[in-house]
Amino acid sequence: GAGVSQSPSNKVTEKGKDVELRCDPISGHTALYWYRQSLGQGLEFLIYFQGNSAPDKSGLPSDRFSAERTGGSVSTLTIQRTQQEDSAVYLCASSLSGEETQYFGPGTRLLVL
Amino acid sequence: AQSVAQPEDQVNVAEGNPLTVKCTYSVSGNPYLFWYVQYPNRGLQFLLKYITGDNLVKGSYGFEAEFNKSQTSFHLKKPSALVSDSALYFCAVRDPWAGNNRKLIWGLGTSLAVNP
């Protein structure tokens, strides 16, 4: 079946611009995670959605970052006023409710010039 | 604080030889441990996990890992390496204090190079 999809696969933007990254989880997966993969910093958790519950935003690095999940499916991660340090690969993962294994999308590679 | 360490940035092994990629962890409570693999320009692929039960866990592509509580380790192993195993390998542990949020805490990754 279809896996987690993300778009765009690559995004180049200028410092100060806003960007939106999209994640389409596996059908039926109620849990959705965003992670950021930076050179030298490894993977870090950003935000978690579970069904209709309030998201866990504890990993968002600043108030320039926000995310929403519409209809319990597609999620959008928005970065406002991008900075060069936001350059990274943004990974989305989903899982079944109560399931430990997370399934990852291919990521969006963001470059802020 | 919960953490995961992968002490080797790179591991080199000849094709056909056994391989080991090391991982140690520091968590309070019972650890839930994972290995993922990342091929170039691709997302992370799940290999195996330890939740409870038998300390030796078998996973995808012939990989296995052994949970060792006394040494707080979860090393990834394969009896006979293939060139196609060359990739970046990540060890991760679930944060046991995050409630329903099953967020993972990650090691920095180990680059495995299998030489023909």
Per-residue confidence in pLDDT tens, chain A, 113 aa = 589 999 999 999 999 999 999 999 999 999 999 999 998 778 999 999 998 888 999 999 999 999 999 887 999 999 999 999 999 999 999 999 888 899 999 999 999 99
Q: To probe the interface with B, which of A47, A97, A102, A108 has the most B CB atoms within 10 Å?
A: A102
> Strand A5-7 and strand B104-106: pairing?
unpaired
> Strand B73-78 and strand B64-68: pairing?
antiparallel
Q: Residue B35 — very low, low, confident or very high, per pLDDT cuts 50/70/90? A: very high
For position B5, what pLDDT does the model report? Answer: 96
Q: Are B93 and B70 in contact (CB under 8 A)?
A: no
Angle of CA points A74, B95, B100, to nearest 5°: 50
Instruction: Name the more confident of B36 and B103.
Output: B36
Q: To probe the interface with B, which of A30, A47, A60, A104 has the most B CB atoms within 10 Å?
A: A104
Instruction: Give the minimum alpha-carbon distance from B95 to chain A in angstroms, rounded to a whole number.
Output: 11
Q: Which residue of B has its CA nearest to A58?
A: B98
| SS3 call for A1 | coil
Instruction: Give the minimum alpha-carbon distance from B50 to chain A in angstroms, rounded to a whole number.
Output: 10
For position A1, what pLDDT does the model report? Answer: 58
Tokens describing residue B67 = 């949970």
Contacts of A102 in chain B (CB under 8 A): 46, 102, 104
Q: Residue B46 — very low, low, confident or very high, per pLDDT cuts 50/70/90? A: very high
For position A13, what pLDDT does the model report? Answer: 97
Question: B98 — contact with chain A (CB < 8 Å)?
Answer: yes
Contacts of A103 in chain B (CB under 8 A): 46
For position A81, what pLDDT does the model report? Answer: 98
Q: Which residue of B has its CA nearest to A97?
A: B100
For position B106, what pLDDT does the model report? Answer: 94
Q: Which amino acid is at A36?
A: R
pLDDT(B71) > 80: yes
- Report the alpha-carbon distance of residue B14 to residue B17 in Å, rounded: 6
Q: Are B62 and B77 in contact (CB under 8 A)?
A: no
What is the average pLDDT score of chain B? 93
